Amino acid sequence: MAAYAITNNERVEAVLLEVFGTSDDEEDDFKQHPRINGLYHCQTAVSDKLQEAVIKGVAAEGWFTDADMNQAMRFGTLPVWATNLANTLPVHLFTKQIRSRQPVFDQLTANVYEPGEGICAHVDLHKFEDGIAIVSLGSAAVMDFTFGSCHERLLLRPGDVLLLEGDARYKWQHGIAAVAIEEFGGEHNQRGQRTSITFRKLVRES
Ligand SMILES: O=C(O)CCC(=O)C(=O)O
Ligand SMILES: [Fe+2]
């Protein structure tokens, strides 16, 4: 039988490809940031189809029907579209302690940014555990990471996922400048409407 001719390595690769649908190129996108410990920028990790489903799911929640509303939070059982999204996140990159907790996430924040809007540099509240995931949808935007005099910038495109743990979560601040147009890598990024979905886990009070 043909299967017996496959070497062990080939068989392992074939199984990995079937389970994770990944290739070496894609794995490169999932490397930890070279200068920010605990930061993973997973480019185009969310398929176009799932991005569309999530945008529809957010719209169906009716959170942003009032033009003044730009942030919504959910705790506990998350909506089905959010659970579907959370289940696709590359949480295997997190430490064992984070990725094996049950559930990995029990809170979400949806933020909607109109062109020219941003979010001030901050560290997420300590009432949330380590291990935070941010999914970018809609327009691209530059996120700034700052720690003392260190400054790093990342261009977040639709479908990108950021994973923050350790230093990236507790030491570095993250924020988005309130500008309508910005430069990145010698190109201009004209902001459109951007939505982000952040997943976290509440610290359990004992
Ligand atoms: O919009 C983003 O990408 C970041 C959102 C964020 O940092 C937060 O809600 O704490
Ligand atoms: Fe944040």
Fill in the amino acid letter for 72: A
CATH topology (fold) of 24-200 = Jelly Rolls (2.60.120)
Q: Where do the domains of the chain lie?
A: 24-200
Q: Which residue has the higher pLDDT, 18 or 82?
A: 82
DSSP string, 174-199: EEE---SEEEETTEEEE---EEEEEE
Ligand 1 proximal residues by C-beta, below 6 Å: 109, 111, 119, 124, 134, 174, 196, 198
Tokens of 120: 């001030």
Determine the distance separating the centroid of ligand 1 and the alpha carbon of 175, expressed in angstroms: 7
* pLDDT band at 47; cut points 50, 70, 90: very high
Residue count of the chain: 206
pLDDT of residue 152: 98
Mutation choice for ligand 1 from 41, 70, 105, 119, CB with most ligand atoms inside 8 A? 119
Region 8-21: mean pLDDT is 43
Which numbered ligand comes closest to the C-alpha of 107? 1
* pLDDT band at 129; cut points 50, 70, 90: very high
DSSP string, 71-88: EEEEESSPPHHHHHHHHH
Cα–chain center distance at 110: 12
This model of the complex carries an ipTM of 0.99
Region 114-141: mean pLDDT is 98
Determine the distance separating the centroid of ligand 2 and the alpha carbon of 156, expressed in angstroms: 14
DSSP string, 99-137: HTSSSS--EEEEEEE-TT--EEEE---TTB-S-EEEEEE
pLDDT exceeds 90 at position 14: no
**Nearest ligand 1 atom, CA 156:** 3
Q: Which residue has the higher pLDDT, 133 or 206?
A: 133
Would you tell me how many other CB atoms lie within 10 Å of the CB of residue 121?
14
Which numbered ligand comes closest to the C-alpha of 162? 1
Mutation choice for ligand 1 from 112, 198, 201, CB with most ligand atoms inside 8 A? 198
DSSP letter for 39, please: E
β-bridge mates for residue 39, sequence order: 164
Region 125-130: mean pLDDT is 98
Least Cα distance to 164 among 39, 18, 29, 58 occurs for 39
